Amino acid sequence: MKKILAFALALVLVLSACSFATAEESVADVIAQAQTMTLEELFKKAIEESNGKDFYAVGNSSRGKSALPLFVEALQQIDPSYTLNWDWQQPKENKIFDQLTEDVNGANHVMSMTLIQDGNQIQSKMLDTGVLLNFVPKDWTEAEGLARENNEYPLALQTLNKVFMFNNLGEATFTNMWDFVAEGQAPLFMGVNSELVGKNFLYMMTNEKYANLAKEAYEAWAGKNADDDALIEDMKQDAAELGLTAENANYGLAWVYLWCEKYNEMTDDGPICNTLVTTSAVDQSGLLVYSKLRSVEETAESSVNNVTVAAYQDDYTGIGGYAYKHYLMLTKSSPLPWTACAIIAFMTTTQDGFKAWGKDMGGYAPVPACMQDHSKDGYVDGVNTFDAKNDRGYDWWLNDGKLVVEDPAYCASVSGTMSDWIDGIVSSK
């Protein structure tokens, strides 16, 4: 009897595994076919698959709730009878990775797609494990002016920037990235473990490209002294122990060390912005989401004109901030994969699909046609009133503004050693 029960249990497990593999293969097969189809063709497949059904997605950004009704409207232009009962969830406290993993590995698959951030965990927990599958729309790959590099795997919905700003009512100058970590500075910044894209930024500072920029800026920095030189030298040993391979990793590591030692931890970018724009924040600086400037209420005590975007200065040297991304992917057990592919294509290749995110400065789609122009957001009645709000755009920020761009694979490769190293500096302050 025991042998019969054991055999039966083994058979159930085998059949379950086969069933799951078949489901996974099916989603992968849908993606392979979908990548050869136009947006209109995907719309028609979505109508066939999901008309009147329930669609579930999970995202780090709540703005998906604004995009999905527009998707439904677009499909209703083809079939007026089309309806979709959608639910867009936004987990808190970084629980999105556990939620997706549990959904894929559970018996009842609910989530069809996700909008997700934090390249490090995406690489190690979602891509390396196969929990999420990448889909690249045909219309995306053929788009005019496409910014393809670092946006294709995983597929990026948008790049967002966090930039160095400072209160300009005093006499302090910030014309070099190293000025923000000079003696006496305490830049406002969200804690490295409260929003992990900020920690990814610090990992990326040891990447060859950005370590080289740190060295160039240091050599041009008027504020360096013997102690800084000694720190640069000491960081060679730390870089070796951390397994960093870039020739100038010690420069990037030294900047990270000083940043972690000095930054003043804040709970969110909103309070950072609201502090910096006040008349009482003389000579303070911060690293925060650029788009926060859009919500500043102009009063006698607060004004956008009280801050300067560091990289917008003609004589600024070094990185102007960092960029992180929102990525779109399917779960490998997606119940409605054709619909998920259609939604992803809609969000990444049309202005309507990207509207929820593109309405603000500081968020950039790889496809230029999706973007709205924010180069004159600081104009009032045709007059340039708040220059800091005039967004110079994706290309400028990546090239002239020298944003540090998140690379999921690199972050995952160094986080195992660097995370504790960074935490040690922060905890010892």
Looking at the structure, tell me whether residues 180 and 290 fall in a common domain.
Answer: yes
Q: Is 321 helix (H, G, I), strand (E, B) or coil?
A: strand
Digit-by-digit pLDDT tens for the chain (429 residues) are 444 444 444 443 333 333 333 444 599 999 999 999 999 999 999 999 999 999 999 999 899 999 999 999 999 999 999 999 999 999 887 799 999 999 999 999 999 999 999 999 999 999 999 999 999 999 999 999 999 999 999 999 999 999 999 999 999 999 999 999 999 999 999 999 988 999 999 999 999 999 999 999 999 999 999 999 999 999 999 999 999 999 999 999 999 999 999 999 999 999 999 999 999 999 999 999 999 999 999 999 999 999 999 999 999 999 999 999 999 999 999 999 999 999 999 999 999 999 999 999 999 999 999 999 999 999 999 999 999 999 999 999 999 999 999 999 999 999 999 999 999 999 998
CA distances 75 to 88, 180, 290, 341, 415, Å, are 18, 50, 34, 13, 43
Number of domains in the chain: 2
Q: Give the residue ranges of DSSP H helices in 195-294.
A: 196-204, 208-220, 226-241, 249-262, 269-276
Q: Are residues 99 and 178 in the same domain?
A: no
User: Same domain, yes or no, for 54 and 89?
Assistant: yes
| Chain mean position to CA 82 | 33
Nearest of 127, 134, 130, 95 to residue 113 by alpha carbon: 134
Q: Is residue 399 part of a domain?
A: yes
Asked if 364 and 223 sit in the same domain, the reply is: no
Using only C-alpha atoms, what is the Rg of the chain? 24
Domain that holds residue 399: 160-312+385-427
Residue 320 forms part of a structural domain: no
Residues 61 and 149 in one domain: yes
Q: What is the CATH number for 69? A: 3.40.190.10
146 and 184 part of one domain: no
Same domain, 151 and 225: no
Same domain, 79 and 139: yes
Q: Are residues 235 and 264 in the same domain?
A: yes
Answer yes or no: is 132 within a domain: yes
Could you tell me if residue 377 is inside a domain? no
> Both 416 and 284 in a single domain?
yes
